[in-house]
Amino acid sequence: MNQVLLQGFHWYSEGNATLYTELEHKADFLSELGISSIWLPPVYKAAGGGYSVGYDPYDLYDLGEFDQKGGVPTKYGTKQQLLSACKTLQAHGISIVADIVLNHKAGGDEKETFHAVRVDPENRQRNLSEPYEIESYTKFTFPGRGKTYSEFQWDFTCFSGVDYAEGEPSGIFQIINQHGAGWEQVIGEEKGNYDYLMYNDIDHRSPFVREELGRWGTWLHDQIFFDGVRLDAVKHQSPEFYVEWLDTLRKTTGKPIFAVGEYWAPGHLPLLLEYIEATKGRMSLFDACLQHQFHLASKQGEHYALNQILKKSLVAVRPELSVTVVANHDTQPLQQLEAPVEPWFKPLAYALILLREGGYPCIFYPDLFGSNYSDKGSDGNEYEVDLPIVKGLETLIKARKIHAYGGQRDYFDKPNCIGWTREGDMGFEGCAVVLNNSGDDQISMEVGGHYKGQVFYDLLGNSTQEVQINDSGWGDFPGPERSVSLYVPKDRSL
């Protein structure tokens, strides 16, 4: 059965500790639709407490169980609500993908004094000072949890850098500790060395830190029994750390844990491939390159050459390690990496990731359920954003479950109207798909001789014309203006 991952949240998901309960109530619908896995937001207590999306991790062992950072629940609910939601989703055949944020920690409880060097934010290899003493919040005592579950002591020796020093202008400070000065080695040369991202940067060179994070990964698994992990900000962490961490996790759980890393480098496919090579294929990566093309195609309209859209994408060269996305919480409007895909193009983009061979498609929560929110833009002004439900998305997901099987033939000859066919396999019917970003057109495509004499129709309803398959297994498939059509045998339905 074809797999589909749902990102079960977005940056502006409702707070008030309701998300876990909401996902639990949707388990029936998601299972019937064809969702096989759900990516949960960070489930541990963040520095922002009940208001935080979760990417400012404070206490990895507090899953909404202890009174810390302003309350017991996280933004999404209590530990009991989390466990209940996971059990219900798993009972419906939906596996859990846990969001893992091991690049940094935030919200330290006490200040410590240590030596550091101020570095140039645009070139972290360039020092702006000699070593000197600074004071920063690098000691974590977890007053609400204490030593329950873990007695590990997080202090400045566990970190390689901070962005706060008491009484100093803001900046980036490289910590000098027993592991020596210098950043960890990462893939890419952006900003000289992009090891440091934010808050207290975890130093993965410490054997004690690695041991603790390995132990915690197994502990988290034993709480919610996840089958996959989404690894945050791998661009800023040494690949060697995740080679060891994933090997430990898979060994201690006895499971072939799925892993997908977030190495967000739109337009830089060689960097994604280099990271895959460095981690020896232990993890998939989100196809940031393809998402960038979706963004451009939606903005440029008929001036964009659709037949080039898969060029230089990860799914084109490493389909088995590509997680394909149309949008996520970082690319949605008003976020730092915003690269929104215009509503008219989203159905075309989802057809490309759901109905083709290769890649593991990930659906963005607002695209399936819609969302409305407001926030300040980069110019400081307040904006309201309406993300409507993507037209036909439910049909496309169901079609992946029923029609996206068998050999694939591509018809990418025209710049504005492209298509492909799937022959069907293992008792599943195939399909024919046409994408068009310009005026009405059509493509002659082969679906296979076993369909001769059959009539195909557009399951999405964008074309009203039926297609008769000739004795050679070919048909002329219309491609209506700026839309996607999904043709299946007329005597078949979802």
Contact 94, 36 (CB under 8 A): yes
Give catalytic residues, as residue numbers.
Answer: 232, 262
* Residue-wise DSSP of 295-320: HHHHHHGGGS-GGGTTTT-HHHH-GG
CA 385 to chain centre: 21
Cβ neighbours of residue 138 closer than 8 Å, sequence gap 6 or more:
108, 111, 112, 114, 154, 155, 156, 158, 159, 162, 200
- Of 11, 36, 34, residue with least CA distance to 373: 11
Rg (CA), the chain: 24
In whole angstroms, give the CA distance from residue 406 to residue 355. Answer: 11
Amino acid at site 481 = E
Name all contacts of 24-28 with Cβ < 8 Å and 24+ positions apart: 24/81, 24/84, 24/85, 24/88, 24/89, 27/88, 27/89, 27/91, 27/92, 27/94, 28/92
Amino acid at site 44 = Y
In whole angstroms, give the CA distance from residue 153 to residue 209. Answer: 10
Helices (H), 168-287: 207-224, 239-253, 269-278
Cβ neighbours of residue 265 closer than 8 Å, sequence gap 6 or more:
188, 235, 271, 272, 288, 289
* CA distance to 107, 297, 445, per residue, from 413 (Å): 55, 17, 11
Query: Which residue is associated with the tokens 């009940």?
Result: 50
